[in-house]
Structure 1
Amino acid sequence: MSSIEERLRELEARVAALEGEPSPAATGDDTGHLTYGGEARLGGYRWQWEVARSPGWLVEQPTGPLAGVLAAAGHPARLRILQLLVAGPQPIADLQSELALASQGQLYHHLKTLTSAGLVEQPERGVYRVPPQAVFPVLALTAAATDVVHQS
């Protein structure tokens, strides 16, 4: 379990990210900075986002929660679900139809994994979406994976 100080730093970083400001930890060392963000119009919504993180701060983050997010997004069906939901909320029937999984149980299993990782939420019964604060991080994960694939 993480200490209160670590939890406070994580909360401060999340609030700063939501407000579009660098976190206090991101400005505290001289290792440079990594910035991602942009502007997007998806599914009738307009998103603006910019996050700056210190590489030194990033490499000090606890790996368990990070690995959980990456593992959740790392399955082909779950990544496709994220691609569909990043554009806006989708009813379960539309997701099932688009994914053509063998059973609705498989879809619910994938949605549960994504929900546990904070990548998906259920704003109303039978409807799922990527939470607003996760839209750009999901796009950034996809962009980073695409860059790695195309470098090979």
Structure 2
Amino acid sequence: MSDETDDRLLALEARVAALEAQLAAPAPRADDSGLFTYGGQASLGGYEWSWQVSRSPEWLLEQPSAQLAAVLAAAGHPARFEILKLLVTGPKPITELQAELGLASPGQLYHHLKTLTAAGLVDQPERGVYRVPPKAVFPVLALAAAAVDVARLTSLD
């Protein structure tokens, strides 16, 4: 496949993933706890993203803590968060990731990629190439936004 075909396929995958996420998201429940919504539009790595998710706070607080903690722990390591920041703009080969992160050996990088993959934050669309899957782009950006907000609140104390 040509690079143009690859780019068109990735853009189509991103649009399909966003639509599937909207369909798969649980319908907002009418309850007394309200509604938590996040989303937006972004241009990253030559792709257009549009996303909106709404869930009740009550529903969010009912989710299994172990699964949520696994995602937060995977993203919470500084090196892994740097990897996410690089991959959220589009797929990158392992050699490019290693160079951009300034790592002498790929072993440590593979260790971090394995953890991110297990948490669903990264996948491998082809051998030696990693990316944040289209369905996870906005959730990763939301994690970054929430971390920035919490860090700013903490620094104001």
- TM-score w.r.t. the length of structure 1 is 0.85
The separation in 2 between residues aligned to 1:75 and 1:83, in whole angstroms, is: 12
Q: How do residues 9-20 of structure 1 correspond to structure 2 at under 5 angstroms?
A: 18-19=21-22
The separation in 2 between residues aligned to 1:116 and 1:101, in whole angstroms, is: 22
- Any runs of at least 4 consecutive aligned residues in structure 1 with deviations exceeding 2 A, and if so which? 19-22
Change (3 A) 1:122 1:45: same
Q: Which residue of the other structure, out of 126, 135, 138, is the alignment partner of 2:137? A: 135
Change (3 A) 1:33 1:20: same
Residue type of the partner of 1:125? R
Q: Which residue of the other structure, out of 50, 74, 79, is the alignment partner of 1:77? A: 79
User: What's the % identity of the aligned pairs?
Assistant: 66
Change (3 A) 1:22 1:128: closer
Change (3 A) 1:46 1:111: same
Q: Deviations over 1:65-117 (max 9, x none)?
A: 10000000000000000000000001101100111124210000000000000
1:100 corresponds in structure 2 to: 102
Pick 1 or 2: higher relative contact order, CA cutoff 8 A, min separation 6: 2
The unaligned stretches of length 5 or more in structure 1 are 1-14
Residue type of the partner of 1:123? P
Q: Which residue of the other structure, out of 7, 23, 26, is the alignment partner of 1:23? A: 26
Query: Does the alignment pair 1:38 with 2:40?
Result: yes
Q: Which residue of the other structure, out of 119, 122, 129, is the alignment partner of 2:121? A: 119
**Local SS of the residue matching 1:51:** strand
**Local SS of the residue matching 1:32:** coil
What root-mean-square deviation, in Å, do the aligned CA atoms of Structure 1 and Structure 2 show?
1.8
- TM-score w.r.t. the length of structure 2 is 0.82
The unaligned stretches of length 5 or more in structure 2 are 1-17
